[in-house]
Amino acid sequence: MDLSRIRNRIDILDSEILKLLQNRMELVLMTKKFKDTIQDEDRENEVLSRIRMNSTALIDFDFVERLYRDIIKESKKLQEKDFRLFAFQGQHGAFSEAAAREWNIDLIPIPCEEFAKVFEGVVSGHYDFGIVPVENTLGGAVSQVNQLLINTDLSVVGAVELPIRLCLLALPGADHREIHSVYSHPQALSQCRRFLARNNLEPLEWSDTAGAAKMLSERRPKRAAAVAGKLCARLYNLDIIKENVQDLERNLTRFFVLGKGKDPEHGNKCSIIFSAEHKAGALFSALEVFAKRKINLTRIESIPSDPGNYAFFVDFEGSVREERVAKGIEEVRRLTSGFRLMGCYKEKKIQ
């Protein structure tokens, strides 16, 4: 091992330490939801005592104690700022996090392992908002999310339409000619199928795009790359081999922002969900209401609910403050069952 390799390893460890510190601070912000005051001397002493027990001969404990006292001080400073938390599924760098930042840059994004955890966390009050993908122009509806939307009491308080620009990422200094396999979320892999086939790259599925980038950075598998967003290159110290590897230029994902309350602002988009009777013309009668009132529908999706039954998701332009929209909603409510107005909100379209 030479000096260059040792320094490269130190750089990797520094990056990992910063990411771990970021994760610790995120958890610190979450703890505030469970306690009445920021000051907790017993907990601080407990942390320092455990650090003392785990200290090694190489590192002087006085140095470690000073370091942790600074970390605790910074933790309390963050808690005093009263940040609001925004949950998303995946790892940092995910497109859901990018969409969350487009919706409100002042919120703190917190990663969750599963979509269900995003819903549960907002319902329980652990997070102030959650963001989930509902449909993609290439992959269609995100069925798992739409299934969760059927049974939740959460409201849609915002939406973001985000261009998905996929990049081929590799370890620093890797020769792109030696790459044989590519890790990413199944939907991302399907969105760049032709690019992968054209370059004889084997697609390997991973839980999410950012997770694949993180895995590549940490496990460093040989002759491998990842397909993920550009942000992941910076977060996980990876090289961008090629940008925009998706097969079609128009690759958009639409995200719902979920909250407990309603959007206090004047919305320009509405989302409803309902079921229709199993008889001819039942669905048509409901949709005809919008046509008669000249309300533009932007999404119609059917998702299996109970065995043999379907829930219909309908998005349309307009606000519940408009008389024609309000009356149309009430008419559809009378014609259907299980009707729910999921929300009236503003939608951001990112270029």
User: Amino acid identity, residue 238?
Assistant: L
Angle between helical axes of 209-219 and 95-103 (0-180°, round to 10) = 120
Contact 32, 75 (CB under 8 A): no
Give the separation between CA 240 and CA 235, rounded to whole angstroms.
12
**How many Cβ atoms from other residues are within 10 Å of residue 92's Cβ?**
21
The residue to which tokens 């309390």 are assigned: 76
DSSP label of 176: G
- Give 109's contacts (C-beta < 8 A, 6+ positions apart): 86, 87, 88, 92, 97, 100, 101
Pair type for strands 85-89 and 129-136 = parallel
Q: Which two tokens stand for residue 204?
A: 């390997």
Give the separation between CA 82 and CA 3, rounded to whole angstroms.
45
Is 313 considered catalytic here? no
Give the separation between CA 101 and CA 106, rounded to whole angstroms.
8
Give the separation between CA 194 and CA 192, rounded to whole angstroms.
6
First and final C-alpha spacing in the chain: 47
Question: Hey, which residues does 136 pair with through a beta bridge?
Answer: 140, 253
Q: What region does 57 belong to: left with phi over 0, alpha with psi -120 to 50, or beta?
A: alpha
Nearest to 343 by CA among 135, 158, 136, 134: 158
Is 253 considered catalytic here? yes
143 alpha carbon, distance to own chain's centre: 15
Q: Which of 86, 88, 115, 253 is catalytic?
A: 253
Q: Which of 95, 119, 129, 255 is catalytic?
A: 255
Question: Known catalytic residues?
Answer: 253, 255
